[in-house]
Structure formats: C-alpha cells, structure tokens
Amino acid sequence: MSDRRGAPRLRPLTTPRAAAVAGIVFAVLFGTSLVLLRVSLPDNPFAPWRGQSRITTALVLAPLAGIAFLWFVGVVRDRLGDLEDRFFATVVLGSGLLFLALFFASSATAGAVLAYSRHIDTDTDPVVSFGREVMLQIGNVYAVRMAAVFMISLATIWWRTGVMPRVMVAVTYLVALALLLVVSLSLWATLAFPTWVLLISTYILVVGPIEAGPETSPGTGPPERR
C-alpha cells in the first residue's frame, strides 16, 4: 500500500492470534516423539533397541517440534509486550534456547546411534549402550532442567505483571520445581513439560490478546502488586 505521494505506507507487525497454536503443535509433536522413543528403548541399557521405524519417526518429528517451540516462545513474549522485564526476558529466552539446543543434541545422538546400529552384527554393542545413556543424560537431566528454568522465569514474570491467572502461575511453579528437583532418566517424566505447554497455549488461544488498559498501556510499566 502507498499514500497519495507514492511513498509506501508502513504498518506495524502484529502477532496473529492463531500463533498460539504453535505451542499446541509443539506439545503434540514433542510428546509423540518422546512416547515413540520410550516404547522403543528397553529398560536394560545393554538390550537391543526395538522398533527402529518408531525411532526414525520420532527423530523426524523432533526438528518440527523445535520450530514450533520457537514460535511458542515468541507468543509468550508477545503477550507480555511492554511489561516485559529485561532481566527475566533474558533468562526466559536464554533457557528456552538452551533447552532447544539440548533437545536437538539429544535427538542427534539418538539418530547417530540408530545409524550406527544398522552397520553392526551384534545386538549388544557397547557403543549403542553408551549412546543411549548420553542421549538420556542430555535430554532428561540437562534439557529438562533448562525447561524448568524457562518455566520458573515465565511464572515469575506472570506473577509480577498479572497477565496470567494465579492458578496458572502456581501450576507452572509446581511443575517446574518437580522437573528441577526430581532426578530421573525416565522419558515419561519429561512429558510434564509438553503437557504444561499445551495447557498454557490452549489458555492463550481461548482468552486471546490482552486489552491495553490504564495499567498495561505502553510506557506505564507493570501494574502494582497488592
């Protein structure tokens, strides 16, 4: 579009409401990938992997889930708008990107082990067992704790600004503390994170954008806590 003088008319970018669907997509893809991996990995680390087709499907879904998670991070930051604090925003963005990097590293390790296992004759190769443990350590120890830091930072911002209901804040704190303190190599425990993302994304999609009022208009700062 252009004005009468022929100069282009600039319009500010706005986040579409449907962008909140990205969190739902991430929850579904990430959760499906975790379930496929869990049912394919035996409890015994020295036992052969079952269902290589399921593992391949999980690894195909992993990068798509990562892309959707980036959109989810954008959605939650856009919801804060001018209320966002630089300190907490840095922690949110940093922990979110670290979670994503560790998730990709864990998936890449699983893909490398799967490719290696196709070229060996024995089912109990130590390299396969070692790769499995590396994958679980990266995904279920480090990535999960970065996800917990991401959740705690968001919950603190939501509590201080009031942009989310207190019940959502409380649930976020409880799930984050569980992920942060419970040391477990079970992939089932990791499902708590995509379940939380699904809950938050569904709420944002249903409620819609926040209306700017006297306490939330640009330049006025966050509302005072009572």
DSSP secondary structure letter of residue 19: G
Give every CB contact of residue 7 below 8 A, 6+ residues apart in sequence.
Answer: none
| pLDDT at site 137 | 87
Q: What is the pLDDT of residues 121-147, one digit of tens each?
A: 655 677 788 888 888 889 888 999 999
Rounding to the nearest 10 degrees, give the CA dihedral for residues 79, 82, 85, 86: 110
CA distance 79 to 164: 10
Measured between alpha carbons, how far is 13 from 87 in angstroms, rounded to an integer? 25
DSSP three-state, residue 26: helix
Q: Six-digit token pair at 62?
A: 């992993």
State how far the Cα of 172 lies from the Cα of 154, in Å rounded to an integer.
Answer: 8
pLDDT interval class at 224 (50, 70, 90): very low
Q: Which residue has the higher pLDDT, 76 or 146?
A: 146
pLDDT at 20 > cutoff 60:
yes
With CA atoms as reference, report the closest residue to 189 among 198, 197, 180.
180
Q: Quickly state the pLDDT bin for 7 (edges 50, 70, 90).
A: low
Q: Where are the domains of the chain?
A: 18-207
pTM: 0.79
Q: What pLDDT shows up at residue 53?
A: 85
